[in-house]
Amino acid sequence: MVKILATGVQIEENFGGPSILHGLQEVLAELYGNDYELIYYQITPFDGYASRDFNFKVRTVPLSFKNFSFSLLRNKEIKEFIQDLKSSDIIVDLYGICFSDNLNAQKFSYLKFFLNTLYAFRILAIAKLFHKKTVKNTCSFGPMKKKLNQKSAAFACKYLFDVVSARETKSRDALIYDAKVKKEIILSPDIANMMTFSKDKISGEKKVGISTSHQIIRQWKGETGYIECIVNLCRHISQTSGMPIVLIPNEIQPLSDMDDIVVSRKIQDILKKEDIPVEIIDSAHMSSKQLKNIIASCEVLIASRYHSCVAALSSGVPTLVVGWHYKYEELLHWYGQDEWGISADECTSEKLISTFNSFWESRDKSKSIIVAKYPEVRKVVLETGKRLFQKNGDV
């Protein structure tokens, strides 16, 4: 029996975290059958609705690092958490992108890099005190030209991560050449590629899916705004093919003034004035498995959210990506779809529509290639899983 304690993602109000956890569970089932235990600890509180399609334990880390006092260590939940750590064979961090200048461009200071890194991976830091095997699950690293991210990555890989896996060659290179990491960096597709979907539940009218993104707006450098580009594409699809269009929010933050739902509604409101109907999928009130089934049912997907792209490609759906990071282009490469990526730095309505036209005409060919590539993607993920989730001392 192997016991895995996982942490590092958010399971509610987004699709990425749950899809990674489902992928992890599939890998463990392939490696160990029923002879494993998975328990997930989230740093923040979560609601039961978010974990309704998980069949493993989900708990909240009871330890407040901001308001710590030693009296807390007598708390029942704290004792349970520590016992789970001590009884686990492997502690794995699942967060999807680390040490990136795009997301953290702060200036360097020794105190800042040390405290920020320990705090970001605090569960793994505690696990090291108990001499547990710690794993940085397959994710993106960088770009990290900023000294703060380089030093943080070097420290984490040396002292906090026993095993490290990157999902892109550029991420691996960033660790090796920018952060000067000396240990081996395993290269593998994202573990969410293993998340299953229900083929028997995919039926009904074919549709074009568009995975909207508030995140890409922050990174956007194209001459034409993101929302305008998507509106123009929807207008073009409606006028040329008449295919139904569904907007698929990936991340929902009820207390935010900008999330994928807000972006979707802005697009819908503009098109409504022109009597072009687009449906917004109610992602907030469905399980991650239901959402993957919806993505898998699309004729094609135009996507700017990473795990929507993973969900589509791993279920054989041709995918046109408008992305802001090299993680998108290398995901497409795993599936032989290199030509169907547009950078946020150079996207215009004209380029998006022109690329879509070629993409639409080639969709059947793309689907055949994607389906043929999937077994190799799956094989590499499983081979990586054997190394990430092998108990210390096992051969």
Cα separation, 119 vs 325, in Å, equals 25
- pLDDT recorded at residue 75: 74
Q: Which domains does the chain have, with CATH numbers?
A: 2-195+377-388 (3.40.50.11930), 199-373 (3.40.50.2000)
Identify whether the C-beta of residue 344 lies closer than 8 Å to the C-beta of residue 321.
no
- Name the residue among 302, 304, 281, 303 with its Cα closest to residue 293: 281
- pLDDT recorded at residue 108: 76
**Tens of pLDDT along the chain (395 residues)?**
999 999 999 998 899 999 999 999 999 999 999 999 999 999 888 877 778 889 999 999 887 655 544 445 557 888 899 999 999 999 999 999 999 998 876 777 888 889 889 999 999 999 999 999 999 999 999 999 999 999 999 999 999 999 999 999 999 999 999 999 999 999 999 999 999 998 765 556 789 999 999 999 989 988 899 999 999 999 999 999 999 999 999 998 877 778 999 999 999 999 999 999 999 999 988 999 999 999 999 999 999 999 999 999 999 999 999 999 999 999 999 999 999 999 999 999 999 999 999 999 999 999 999 999 999 999 999 999 999 999 875 53
In one-letter notation, the amino acid at residue 219 is Q
- pLDDT recorded at residue 202: 58
Tally the C-alpha atoms within 13 A of residue 346's C-alpha that lie toward its C-beta: 6
Identify whether the C-beta of residue 284 lies closer than 8 Å to the C-beta of residue 252.
yes
In one-letter notation, the amino acid at residue 272 is K
- pLDDT recorded at residue 203: 58
Tally the C-alpha atoms within 13 A of residue 31's C-alpha that lie toward its C-beta: 27
- pLDDT recorded at residue 183: 96
- pLDDT recorded at residue 270: 97
DSSP 294-349: HHHT-SEEEE-SHHHHHHHHTTT--EEEEESSHHHHHHHHHTT-GGGEEETTT--H
- Name the residue among 52, 51, 55 with its Cα closest to residue 42: 51
SS3 assignment, position 37? strand
Identify whether the C-beta of residue 172 lies closer than 8 Å to the C-beta of residue 165.
no
In one-letter notation, the amino acid at residue 109 is S
Per the structure block, which two tokens stand in for 373?
Answer: 């590539």
Cα separation, 104 vs 102, in Å, equals 6
SS3 assignment, position 130? coil
- pLDDT recorded at residue 110: 82
Using left for φ > 0, alpha for ψ between -120 and 50, and beta otherwise, residue 117 falls in: alpha
- pLDDT recorded at residue 70: 46
